[in-house]
Amino acid sequence: MKKLAILTLVLFTTISMNAQSLAGIWNTGEENTKIEITEDNGVVSGKILSSDNAKAKIGKQIIKDVKFSNGEWKGQLYAAKKGKWYDAVLKENGSQLDITIKVGWMSKTITWKKE
């Protein structure tokens, strides 16, 4: 019984370490645009915090409905140039956030840097 309790504790610790929070300020690398990502009850969202792009709408939500499931953060990313929401997988890699967007058989990965 004691071994089972230890195994369960290790399992939950490993799962929670893999489900790191994406919260923070992220620089998109385009026109000094910064995105603030927050987490509320396990759901992640993000909005434009600042930008040198005059057309950027400060406060606009561009990440929504991101949840940790099956070892991945999955949700939606808004593509301002297209004016559409796309399904996305977000993966934190140290001080980088890799966001992969898939449309049909094509995919594109963009990388943001943590501030």
Please provide the DSSP assignment of 39-88 as one string.
Answer: EETTEEEEEEEE-S-TT--TT-EEEEEEEEETTEEEEEEEETTTTEEEEE
Quick one: pLDDT at residue 8?
38
Cα separation, 106 vs 109, whole angstroms: 10
pTM exceeding 0.85? no
Cα separation, 85 vs 76, whole angstroms: 6
Q: Does residue 33 contact residue 50 with C-beta atoms inside 8 Å?
A: yes
Is the torsion defined by CA of 95, 92, 62, 28 positive or negative? positive
Q: Does residue 106 contact residue 115 with C-beta atoms inside 8 Å?
A: no
Quick one: pLDDT at residue 18?
47
Quick one: pLDDT at residue 100?
97
Domains of the chain: 2-114 (2.40.128.520)
Quick one: pLDDT at residue 101?
95
> pLDDT in tens for each of the 115 residues of the chain?
554 444 333 334 434 444 567 999 999 999 999 999 999 988 999 999 999 999 999 999 999 999 999 989 999 999 988 899 999 999 999 899 999 998 888 999 999 999 9
Cα separation, 13 vs 82, whole angstroms: 40
